Amino acid sequence: MAHTPYPRPSPDEITPRSVWLSRRTLLAGVTMGVASRLVPRARAETLHARPGPFQAAEKPTPLSDVTHYNNFYEFGLDKGDPAALSASFAARPWTLSVEGLVARPRVWDIDQLIAAMPIEERLYRMRCVEAWSMVIPWDGFPLSSLLAQAEPLGSARYVAFESVVRPAQMPGQRGGLDSLGWPYVEGLRLDEAMHPLTLLAVGLYGETLPNQNGAPVRLVVPWKYGFKGIKSITRIRLVEKQPPTTWNQMNADEYGFFANVNPEVDHPRWSQASERVIGAGGFLGGGRKKTLMFNGYGEQVAGLYGTMDLRRNY
């Protein structure tokens, strides 16, 4: 595929930084220090001059779509619920614990964590299992940087993640028969977790992560279906055995542990061969493209799976 020059987001896609900062500061008590750790937009744009595995060549999805078409069942089942119902969610103060099979367990304050980690912008293709996709400029740090500090023990083989449980602030966690069990949990094999593409995101579009996208910290694994990207994480645990994951527990035939993007392995109820590109094309013609193996990250990640049967290990 030919590389096109990186297109800038149009001004109407971007909330002015000053407006955004004052709004966030009022709503969530976010400190100025957090936003200043994120990659300034001007510098972020020059990163896209040379597309590569960390900087997709595709046009970023408009910010309004990234923040108004979400899956975050803690706030409800509709794509609009997270934006509509998450305004009073308190992403500060926040702690993230790293524990289990590590030499140096630690409970991090989120702002101390952000100050300690190498924050970069990564423009990643994101593919939801529901066959739609976005291209999102994340700000974050490699999960490997955090895990390295914790010093995983030789017996650690998987990483288990847990989202926050806070029914008073998350309407989707109050009853509701057709929703998920809480907390939302996810997992990766340790080598997947240590891969340089695997990110813990704390912002997007150069701003602090909006609540509906998983504030204050969420996982981003661009070669896997979106449900692996667990939001609003409070606990990371290094373990010996493959941990349970929310969607796999819900319906193991439809949602595997690996969930690698694979156009050749259909979901039992729909094709995974192509995807609807959110924010592109509209009703006439465009807005659909072929799905790529490993979401186009095969050169970087195929080696993680060797000769594994990807049809069995979906």
Residues that bind Mo ion (CB under 5 A): 71, 128-129, 226-227
Site string for ligand MTE, 144-173 (x = CB under 6 A): -------------------x----------
Closer by beta carbon to Mo ion, 217 or else 278: 278
Q: At closest approach, how far in Å is the CB of 27 from ligand MTE? A: 18
Distance in angstroms (rounded) separating the CA atoms of residues 70 and 79: 5
- Cβ atoms of 203 and 140 within 8 Å: the answer is yes
Sorted by sequence, the CB contacts under 8 Å of residue 26 that are 6+ apart come out as none
Please identify the residue of the shown chain whose CB is closest to the bound ligand MTE. 226
Closer by beta carbon to Mo ion, 186 or else 192: 186
List the one residue from 187, 203, 229, 243 that touches ligand MTE (CB under 6 A): 229
Q: At closest approach, how far in Å is the CB of 2 from ligand MTE? A: 27
Site string for ligand MTE, 68-107 (x = CB under 6 A): --xxxxx---------------------------------
Buried b (16+ CB within 10 A) or exposed e, 237-250: bbbeeebebbbbee
Interacting residues with ligand MTE between 188 and 227 (CB under 6 A): 213-214, 226-227
Q: Which does 72 bind (CB under 5 to 8 A by kind): Mo ion, ligand MTE, none?
A: ligand MTE
Closer by beta carbon to ligand MTE, 78 or else 240: 78
Closer by beta carbon to Mo ion, 108 or else 184: 184
The residue range among 10-18, 50-58, 66-74, 138-146 that interacts with ligand MTE, by the rule CB under 6 A, is: 66-74
Residue 258 touches ligand MTE, criterion: CB under 6 A: no
Q: At closest approach, how far in Å is the CB of 228 from Mo ion? A: 9
Tokens describing residue 70: 């979400």
Closer by beta carbon to ligand MTE, 152 or else 214: 214
Residue 272 touches ligand MTE, criterion: CB under 6 A: no
Residue 295 touches ligand MTE, criterion: CB under 6 A: no
Tell me which residues touch ligand MTE (CB under 6 A): 70-74, 128, 163, 184, 213-214, 226-227, 229-232
